[in-house]
Structure 1
C-alpha cells in the first residue's frame, strides 16, 4: 500500500470541500465552517502550488498544504479523510507528509497550528516528534479560538 503524493486537483478540492464532514466538535475542521477558507481552498489560484493530495490504493486519504516561511522553516496544514480519523492511521499519514516536505523543501524546522481542543491530533503530533511552542488566539469560523503552535526539528 504505497502512499502517493501529488498536487491537489480541482475535483479533489471539491470532494473535500463538499463531502468531508467531521463528527461532533471536529466539525470545526469542515471546509465550509469558514467561508474565507472555503473560497480559498476551492480557488486554484488560492491553493497555488502548495496544496497536495495524499492517496493510498488510488483513494484520497488526506491533503496538506506547505508554505515556506522566514528562514528555513515550512509551515504545514493537513487534513485526513473523516472516516479514517480516530482509527490509528494518523501517525503513518503524518510521517508521509513530513517525509515529503523534508525531501522536497529541505527545511530545518516544520511548524503547524492546531486547535487546543483537538487532543487527538496533538497526541499524534507529539508521538511523531513535534513539540509545543506556544498558544495563541485566532479568529476563525465566526469566533475566536485558542490554537497551539507546534514545531518539528528536521
Structure 2
C-alpha cells in the first residue's frame, strides 16, 4: 500500500543503515535530506507498507514538464530481487495519479545495481553531473523515462 508518509515511518527510515558502499544512502549522512524527511516532507513523500511494516519510500515532485522521483527500499530488502516490483509499483502509481508523462531521477554513478534496474525498466541516461552531498562532491547520472 502506498500512502502519505507518517512521522513514525519517517523516523524509522531515518535510522536505516545500508551495507557499504550503499551506506552513502543512509539519511543520517546528509543533514539536509534528514531534515527534509523528518520535518519538511510535505505532500511529496510516500511510504510503502506491506504486512504492516514500512518496506520503502518514494518522493514524487511535480516540476514544470516532468515528475522527479526518489526512492528507497528498506536495507534488508535490497539485493534480493524486490527492486523491480518496487519501482514498477511507483511507476504504476504515477501513471494513475499524475498527468505528466516524463519521469526523471538521479542516481549515484557508483550504484550500478540501481542503474541496471532503471535501464531494465526503460529509463535512459541523460547526463552526468557532480553534486555536493554527504559532506563531499559526488558524480550522479540523471535518467528519464517517458510513459
Structure 1 length-normalised TM: 0.93
Q: CA offset at residue 60 of structure 1?
A: 1.1
Equivalences, count: 147
Write the mapping of 1:1-154 to structure 2, written as runs, cut at 5 A.
4-18=1-15, 20-43=16-39, 46-71=40-65, 73-154=66-147
SS in 2 for 1:15: helix
Please, which runs of 5 or more residues in structure 2 have no aligned partner?
A: none
SS in 2 for 1:54: strand
Structure 2 length-normalised TM: 0.98
Please, which runs of 5 or more residues in structure 1 have no aligned partner?
A: none
Q: CA offset at residue 98 of structure 1?
A: 0.8
Query: Aligned Cα RMSD in Å?
Result: 0.7
Q: After TM superposition, where is structure 1 displaced by more than 2 Å over at least 4 residues in a row?
A: none
SS in 2 for 1:37: helix
Deviations 1:33-72 (A, max 9, x none): 00111111100xx10001000122222111000001112x
